[in-house]
Amino acid sequence: MSDKRLATLRRQLSTVGIDALLVVKPVNVAYLTGFNGTSGYVLVTGKRAYLLTDFRYLEMAREQAKCFETVNIGLSAWKKVSDLLIEEGNHSLAVESEYITVSSYNKLIEALSDLTVTAIPSPVSRMRSVKSREEQYAIEAAVRLADKAFLHIRSFLKPGVSERDIALELEYYMRSLGAEEISFKTIVASGKRSAQPHGSASQKLLEPGDAVVIDFGCILNHYCSDMTRTIFINDVSAKQRGIYQAVLDAQLHTLQLIRAGMTGRQADELARDVLKDLGLAEYFGHGLGHGVGREIHELPRLSPASDDELLPGMVVTIEPGVYLEGEFGVRIEDVVVVEEAGCRTLTGSTKELICL
């Protein structure tokens, strides 16, 4: 897989006239090389590909990144980059603009004083936005594990249980089934707190009549899952039932019509228009979704401000919500694969209204 990704990257660099690219973001380094150490850079030129790391990871790098020449960075990674480029006769270097600090960028320019250094949006991040079939399988496995965790946690949702204990049980259960870690800090927000879209789990105890928004996921074989369900405790009011149905209608409408070729803005409008017709759009204050992969938030973005084009093979979340401050909130989220003629939903958990 590494050799195919390297070939694709080289073609892209050649198309835009880039002599060499320095990859600094750890997840992009891992994506290209398979190297999982915590210290490493990738330098790709027209002829060669290097994985630069320090003494601690040299053996690991040689084992994991067989398509790359492993190089010890020594005292200065930037000086080593300069030496390698000069040795090959390269005159310019591009670096990932989103992921290098100002301090590191300035040091890089100083070390490469005889070369032209340019910061550009990472082509590797753009490559990662379209998932191979193997990556889709990996994400689907992480999603299935989260589905199992949702079934498991339902028996814990009762009055008197704290949000924090629910989050801890979810993490323990997913890890017990093989998850490497949780893919983000678990959200469990109940009662009035459910109107906070990112309400971290607190010591609040569940109470009868609460809406409980649970947003969680895990990392399995380096790939993330992400899902949200809203459950009601002991009783559900007519207003809660109506808002739940509105959010569900918005999500189902989007799942039916989203497809490759749309922009992130157009996908967002599918859900937002349903809520607008019901007078609820002003309570949907975030974007429709985001890409999922090795990171929980990747390209593309699905929001009113996004011109990202949806391409076949992209894996994204569809997560409309309505949040009534001081009352309650509802969000429903699935992970889907974008396809030419629609989408394929990976999340299998029920979306029927649940009142426990």
Instruction: Specify whether the CB–CB gap between 217 and 146 falls below 8 A.
Output: yes
CATH of domain 133-355: 3.90.230.10
Q: By C-alpha distance, which of 322, 350, 142, 129 is closest to 229?
A: 350
**81/60 Cα distance (integer angstroms):** 20
Instruction: Give the per-residue pLDDT at 94.
Output: 93
Neighbours of 7 (CB within 10 A): 11
3-state secondary structure of 136: helix
Calpha distance 234→37 (Å, rounded): 48
Note whether 240 and 329 are within 8 A (CB). no
Per-residue pLDDT of the chain (356 residues; tens, 9 = 90+): 668 899 899 998 888 888 899 999 999 999 999 999 989 999 999 889 999 999 999 999 999 999 899 999 988 899 999 999 988 888 889 999 999 999 989 989 998 888 889 999 999 999 999 999 999 999 999 999 999 999 999 999 999 999 999 999 999 999 999 999 999 999 999 999 999 999 999 999 999 999 999 999 999 999 999 999 999 999 999 999 999 999 999 999 999 999 999 999 999 999 999 999 999 999 999 999 999 999 999 999 999 999 999 999 999 999 999 999 999 999 999 999 999 999 999 999 999 999 99
Q: What class does CATH assign to 2-128?
A: alpha beta
The domain locations on the chain are 2-128, 133-355
Position 92 scores a pLDDT of: 86
Q: What pLDDT is recorded for position 1?
A: 62
Please tell me the predicted confidence (pLDDT) of residue 114.
Answer: 82
* Sign for the pseudo-dihedral over CA of 60, 61, 65, 70: negative
Q: What six digits make up the tokens of 337?
A: 């694969």
Neighbouring C-beta atoms of residue 177, cutoff 10 Å: 15
Contact of 243 with 160, CB cutoff 8 Å = no
Distances 97 to 2, 25, 256 between C-alpha atoms, Å: 23, 10, 37
Give residue 287's pLDDT. 98
Which residues, other chains included, contact 247 with Cβ-Cβ below 8 Å and sequence gap of 6+? 230, 275, 320, 321, 322, 330, 331, 332
